[in-house]
Amino acid sequence: MSRWKTWVGIFISALAIWWAMRGVEWALVWPALRAADWMLLALVFVLTPVVNIGARAVRWKILLSPVAWLPISSCASATAVGLMANNVLPARIGEFVRAYALARRQPVATATAFGSLFLERMFDGFALVGILYALRWVVDLPSWADTTAAVAFWIFVGFAAFQAVLVAWPRKVIGAAQWVRRRIFGGRFEEAFEGALATFVEGLQLLKRPRLLAISAVLGLAQWALVALLFFIGMAAFGLARKVGIEGALFTTSITALGVAAPSSPGFVGTFQAFVVQSLEAFDVDRTIAFTYSLGFHAVNYLSVTIVGLIYFLREGLSWKELERSEEELEREMAEDFETEIEPLLEGDERG
């Protein structure tokens, strides 16, 4: 499965980078990079880990607070290593690495750590869609942006509804899932089904805490506003800030963040460039300048997060083999969690 996902990601990245490079005047790219304000890009380099690692670590601590009170340092360390893994390893393995790294350091079930990341992604999605809908009131957006926002909104609504139903009636949902596995799949994929169910049931406990739910949602919106500020500073480095404004930075951030959720090569190479170029074209930015900005800004972000992640990786005493095996290890441990934690929980619900 990992090999299959890797090749699909490489293929999509190749198509994306080909599309992004169409019409680019290559003779102007290097001069534009050299003319950029590298003091502003250095500021982006410094602030990127604070926003993408620090702010995300605070959110993760809150997401896990119903089941464990963890130090920010542990959440930050696991987040940094996971983001670094996404940048250097294939098949978007960083989410598995992130959960594995936290469970390795703190007394929290791997299913709980991994399941909480689904909630984080849900909050990310609603924050990004919310930004797009808000922008419709202040700027004229292309029709494809409205379609993107509407499709993403209903996907996340469906995802949230499933999570709410699972938390409210875990036995019924799990029973239905196991019936599907037996009748449709002939009893196959038992470990995959049980691992996924363990992930959701244990990782979605925040849904029972409305106050923490609201705090997490607000923090998600705040984090993406800060990411947009990084995009805006990067745009200022390439002389685009006045042309697109903060609205353009918010729009580019939202479209790009939603877009890179698609499979891609490590570090979102290709997909990042394609969605940045597409977003900036909506603000009449020259394609060569848009592509150059996507290269420079992405490179600074990539290096910053990867370097910080490598520092945490070395401090934690992890090995590359551990990271590569993290998905398999998590699947094995989540199957065990299903037997030791989820089944007793369901039996307790039944007695209650």
pLDDT digits 0-9 by tens, 259-276: 998 888 899 999 999 999
Tokens representing 68 are 């464990």
Amino acid making up residue 341? E
The more confident residue out of 65 and 200 is 65
Pair of tokens at residue 38? 């590298």
Cα end-to-end distance, the chain, whole Å:
40
Q: What is the DSSP letter of 36?
A: S
SS3 1: coil
User: What's the length of the chain?
Assistant: 352
Rounded distance between C-alpha atoms, residue 255 and residue 245, angstroms: 16
The C-alpha torsion from 318 through 321 and 326 to 329, rounded to 10°, is: -110
Q: Contacts for 47-50 with beta carbons within 8 Å, 24 or more apart?
A: 47/230, 47/233, 48/230, 48/300, 48/301, 48/304, 48/305, 49/80, 49/304, 49/305, 49/308
CB-CB neighbours of 265 under 10 Å: 21
Read off the pLDDT of each residue in 97-122 and give the average, rounded to a whole number: 84
**DSSP 8-state code for residue 342:** I
**Which range, of 134-138, 150-154, 170-174, 304-308, averages the lowest pLDDT?**
170-174
Q: Of residues 350 and 41, which shows the higher confidence score?
A: 41
Radius of gyration, alpha carbons of the chain: 21
Domain ranges of the chain: 2-351
Average pLDDT over residues 324-348: 61
Instruction: Give the per-residue pLDDT at 105.
Output: 86
Is the separation of the CB atoms in 275 and 256 below 8 Å? yes
Q: For residue 116, what pLDDT is reported?
A: 83
Q: Quick check: 335 and 194 in contact, CB under 8 A?
A: yes
3-state SS class at 51: helix
Predicted confidence band of residue 146 (pLDDT cuts 50, 70, 90): confident
Q: How far apart are CA 110 and CA 195, in angstroms?
A: 10
pLDDT at 312 over 80: yes
CA angle at 24 for the pair 23 and 28, rounded to the nearest 5°: 145
pLDDT value of position 198: 55
- Considering the entire predicted model, what is its pTM? 0.88
